[in-house]
Structure formats: structure tokens, C-alpha cells
Amino acid sequence: MNVAFEQASKAGRWHMLSALTSPLALLAVALLFVFVLLLVPLRLPVGPMYWDIYIYYDAANRIFDGQIPVRDFFIPVGPLCYYLFVGWLTLFPNGHPVLLAHWSLLAITTPAMTALVWHVDKRSRFTAFALLIPFLIFALLPFDTRDMYAYPGSDGFGVYNRQVCQILYVLVAAFTFVRDRRLLAGLVAVCMGSLFFVKITGFLAAGLICAFALIAGRITLRDALIAAVAFMAILAGMEISSGLVGGYVNDIIVLVGLNSGTLVPRLLRALSQNFGVVLATTALVAVLVWADWRKLATQPGGRSSLFGRDSLWLAVVMLAGILFETQNTGSQAFFFLWPILLAILLKTGRIANRPALALTVSALVAATALPLVVRVVERAARTYVGAVRNVPLQESNLKTLGALNMRPEVQARSDNMLRFYSEHSGLYQDMADVNELPNPLFYSDFEFQIVYLKTVDMAIDTIRDIETRTGVRFGTIMSLNFVNPFPWLMERSAPLHITIGADPGRTVPLPGSAEEQAVANTDLILLPTCPPTANNKILYTLYEPALAEHRRFKLNQCYDAFVHPRFDKSLGLNIIAPN
């Protein structure tokens, strides 16, 4: 009896130790780490194009206000991004904006990776860890794989693209390592459904991957049909309940029309920006094809023998990645190649009798994978370690959007430029008139991002002062700018039908009657002047007919304002100037 009890006790301790050291335990710790950091007030270093993150708050404010993406306002990407963000913002209202936006996708990828890793762990714990750890590096660190500025800083841009890459990682890992048919079909359905509603270019890249997986026999026709039916059921349910899908598809068509430049320049840009990983991957494909050439020539097997090779699988996924990157400024490009690279590494033991080949394959795998990981980890280290001496942004109205710090020299320059912009606005207006920015990296400049937040902070003070003095309340606020954080920061409403993330020529269709009526009904419309820019001038021109009845006045040194005529009497003619 004692022997049996002792054996049972040892078995129990072994199972507990196994569970505590399992990949799922690591995933649980990572998720706990995420929750803790979202509960703790944090200040992160400002980064290039940081204001992209404000789009999420514009969308969240509209959704909290009862507006529905696609139906009530135009969006530059899929609606799932914003709904996920709203859910996490509700749970963690004081979470840092960059972390909230980047980590919100964990609501989808964590269950998917849990199922995938649990399945793989039953066969090989090493393989399960080898799949999970790279995923966690990219899923936890909110950084792109390429720099947009010389100084290290937080990447508030490219979030949609990073999330697409993380979903593609799950999809590629599933096709490469999952052997359970039901689990594979379920993961494919989840990934394709998520990609469709995150970013359509990611969905198209995944479609290429899925099509080849079917041809190569990585998924059976029956299971592919099951996944397709599940995906279509999701779309049908959403269309019947809200009409969202039809409107979303229509918006995609509009966006394609706005971004209908030729593919070749974008393809060349994607190749040049990712030259290292594309070159290493192409070399690895060539080596694998050469190594398998004799086998393919001597072995019967036709399609399954040819298309089932890791070399062709790697080539197709790389091609899908290149096509996806043609539309991106920043992302975690190509890190979803790792599951295939891992599978290739695990098979090098079969060519141990050919050490030169095994060494070449291993070196090319490292040349493909390591730069991506090193780049993200290095960028995170430079940003966070380098922030030790940073100084906080001084503000009073920005909520968590102002939870930033910066180098002292950035703070000094932003103070100087804020004065310079207001004193020399004519110079920048002349630049705007010829559609030129002060410099090509203007929106990446940390100084610009800080100046923008300071001007928003000052504008809110001025608006509240006017409201206090006159007893009015501007219920709807619009900004003739790329972003519009005012409704979120002041707990007001944003006008219906207006684009969030307003980039003329890329995301702003010509205003129709609905948009013009919404602008005409807006209480307060703000035009930034520190400094004037070509994009803001274009936005003003687009909406100028709808502003015919509004009264224009100088809100402060960095903003002009257009106020609805219903406020004429309350505000007093002394502060109003004609258009």
C-alpha cells in the first residue's frame, strides 16, 4: 500500500512539474504579465508617427457613443481591430494606448495558440516551445521590424499590420504542425475570419497560403470546405444581424480606388525594405530544391511529392508575405516564416551524412529568422533602456494619450518649434500651398508628435474657457486633420460618416451628401495651424462647401475654429470673424 501511495505521489509531483514547465504555463505567465502592465500606469517614450494610435480612441469613442464602424463612419482597415480595442479599453481604461492597441489581438491569438501548442506538445515539448517563444516575442513587444526614425521610440503605427503577421503566424504554424483535422479546420476558420475583419490585404495573402496548402495536401478538401463553411457562416451571421459585411466590402472597393497606384513600384519597395530576409529565404529555397532534385527526378508521386516539399511551401508563404508588404509602411514582416523554418531545421538530422548541406541549410535558416528577432528585441531594448533619462510630457487634458516621455533635447526643441510655428505660420503656409512638408520625415519627428499633443492640450483649455464664459457646450467636435482626439478627450461626440485616420488621397473618399450634412451640423470644427500642412489644407478644401454657414475665428495661436451659426448669439460677435 505504501509503495503504491509513494508511486502515486511521485507520479502526481511529476505531472505537476510537467504542467508548471509546459509551454501552456509560459503562455499563462505571459498573459498575466500583460494584464499587470495594463493595470499599472506607465509612461512610454514617444515614437515616430505616434499619433496613429489616436485613431483607435476616435473609433472607441464613436463606438461607445453608439456609432457602428462602416455604417456610421468610414474606416481605413477592418472593424475587428476597433472592437477588440474597445473591449480591452473597457477592461483596462488606464492601460497605455500602445500596449492596449498591440495586445488587444491576444483575445484571438491566445486561444488559438493555446490549442495549437497543446496539440504539438503532446508529440514534442521542444517543438511546442520553439513555436511559442518566437510568437510571444513578437506578440508582446509592440515594435515593427524596421525603423522609421533615427531615435528609438514607441511604434504607434503599423499596429494593424503587426496583428496580421501574428495571425498569419498561427495559420502557417497550423498548416505545418497540426495533425488533428478538426483542430486544423477550426484554426483556419478562425484565422481567415479574423484576417478578413482586420485587414483585407492580410486576408488575401492568407488566401494564397490556404490555396497552396490545399494543393499540397496539408489540408484535405473536406476539411477545407468545413473551414470555408464556418467562415461563410460568420459572414452571413454578421450581414444578417447588422449589414456590416456588405458595407465593409463596399468600403474596401472605395479604398482600392483611392490606392490604385501601379503594383510594380510597391512591389519593388517591399522587396528593397525586406531585402535581407527575402534574399536569405530565396537562397534557402534554392538550396532545398537543389538537394531534393534527384529525389524528385527518381521518385514517383507526382503532385504530392512535388508540392509537399518544404522548399515550395516556404517559397509560397514568402511570396504571400511580399504581396502583403506592398501595402504596408510598418509591420512585423515575415516573422510568420518561422514555423516552416523550424520544420526544416527539425529535418536536418536526415541529412547528417551530408554535413556541408546540413550546415548550409542551418546557416540560411538563421540568416532568415535571427535578424527579425534581433531587430525587434534590439529596438525594444534601445527604447526602454534609453528612456531612463527621459522627461515626462507636461499636460493637463490628454488622459492616457499624454502618458509619454522624451529626451530632454526633444522637449527643448518642441518648446522652441511651438513658438516658431505660430510666429512664422506664413512660411509653412507657403510650403502647404505647394504640397510640401517641412521635411520628408515630418510626421516621424518626435518634436512634431510632442508639439501636436501640446497644441491639443492648449486647444482644450481654450475651448473649455469659452464654454465656461458663455455657457455653451459644443456637443460635436471635428478636426480637419489626420486624427481627431478631441471628442475622446473632452467626452463629446464625433460627427457621423467622417473618416477616421483621414489621409487625403489614401483614406478619404470625396464627401457625399451624408458627409457634407454631418459636417454642416457639427458644432465645432478645428483647423490646426502649428504648422499649416498640405494634408490639412486638402481636408479643408474637401469640406469647405459644408462649412459655408459656419463662422471662422482664431481659437488660439495654433488653431482656427469653425463654429455652427446656432452659437452666434451666445458667443458674441466680438470673437467671430467672417470666413
**pLDDT tens for each residue of 185-212:** 999 999 999 999 999 999 999 999 999 9
Average pLDDT of the residues in 69-93 = 94
Q: How is the chain split into domains, by residue range?
A: 2-40+105-383, 406-575
Average pLDDT of the residues in 465-480 = 95
Do 579 and 547 meet the contact criterion of CB atoms below 8 Å apart?
A: yes
Handedness of CA 178, 181, 182, 188 (dihedral sign): positive
Average pLDDT of the residues in 288-298 = 71
At residue 8, the pLDDT reads 55
DSSP for 21-70, written as a single string:
TSHHHHHHHHHHHHHHHHHS---EE--TTGGGGHHHHHHHHHHHTT--BT
Do 404 and 44 meet the contact criterion of CB atoms below 8 Å apart?
A: yes
At residue 309, the pLDDT reads 85
DSSP for 130-170, written as a single string:
HHHHHHHHHHHS---SS-SSSS-----S-HHHHHHHHHHHH
Instruction: Provide φ and ψ at 577, rounded to 5°.
Output: -125, 150
Spatial strand order in the sheet of 44-45 = 44-45, 404-406, 391-392
Handedness of CA 58, 60, 64, 70 (dihedral sign): positive
Q: What are the DSSP E strand ranges found in 362-493? A: 391-392, 404-406, 477-479
For 532, other C-beta atoms within 10 Å of its C-beta total 21
**pLDDT of residue 77 exceeding 50:** yes
* Angle made by CA atoms 467, 468, 472, in degrees to the nearest 5: 40
Which of these ranges, 254-268, 492-506, 525-539, has the smallest mean pLDDT? 254-268
**pLDDT tens for each residue of 356-414:** 888 999 999 999 999 999 999 999 999 999 899 999 999 999 999 999 999 999 999 99
The dihedral formed by the CA atoms of 388, 390, 395 and 397, expressed in degrees to the nearest 10: -50
* Angle made by CA atoms 257, 258, 259, in degrees to the nearest 5: 90
**pLDDT tens for each residue of 253-284:** 888 877 766 667 888 888 888 999 999 999 99
Cell of 420: 516658431
Do 442 and 536 meet the contact criterion of CB atoms below 8 Å apart?
A: no
At residue 239, the pLDDT reads 85
Reported confidence tier of residue 302, pLDDT bands at 50, 70, 90: very low
Average pLDDT of the residues in 220-246 = 89
At residue 10, the pLDDT reads 60
Cell of 573: 460677435
DSSP H or E stretch at residue 127: helix 125-140
Q: How far is CA 531 from CA 301, 368, 420, 477, in A?
A: 66, 43, 9, 20
Pairing of strands 391-392, 404-406: antiparallel
Q: How far apart are CA 434 and CA 442, in angstroms?
A: 16
Do 348 and 359 meet the contact criterion of CB atoms below 8 Å apart?
A: no
DSSP H or E stretch at residue 552: strand 551-556
Q: How far is CA 349 from CA 94, 315, 357, 361, 539, in A?
A: 50, 22, 11, 11, 61
Cell of 199: 485587414
For 88, other C-beta atoms within 10 Å of its C-beta total 23
Pairing of strands 524-528, 44-45: unpaired
Average pLDDT of the residues in 107-113 = 97
Instruction: Provide φ and ψ at 406, rounded to 5°.
Output: -155, 165
Reported confidence tier of residue 528, pLDDT bands at 50, 70, 90: very high
For 388, other C-beta atoms within 10 Å of its C-beta total 7
DSSP H or E stretch at residue 289: helix 275-298
Cell of 488: 475622446
At residue 576, the pLDDT reads 45
The dihedral formed by the CA atoms of 348, 351, 355 and 357, expressed in degrees to the nearest 10: -80
Q: How far is CA 437 from CA 430, 434, 528, 532, in A?
A: 10, 9, 15, 9
The dihedral formed by the CA atoms of 292, 295, 299 and 304, expressed in degrees to the nearest 10: -10
Q: Of all residues in the chain, what percent carry a pLDDT higher than 70?
A: 92
Question: Whose CA is closest to 392, among 412, 408, 375?
Answer: 408
Cell of 541: 478644401
At residue 262, the pLDDT reads 60
Do 390 and 405 meet the contact criterion of CB atoms below 8 Å apart?
A: yes
Query: How many alpha carbons fall within 13 Å on the CB side of residue 104?
Result: 29
**pLDDT tens for each residue of 557-569:** 999 999 999 998 7
Alpha-carbon radius of gyration of the chain: 27
Listed in sequence order, the residues at least 6 apart from 488 whose beta carbon sits closer than 8 Å to its beta carbon are: 57, 58, 60, 61, 399, 401
Question: Whose CA is closest to 40, among 407, 491, 453, 403?
Answer: 403
Mean pLDDT of the chain: 90
Do 101 and 53 meet the contact criterion of CB atoms below 8 Å apart?
A: yes
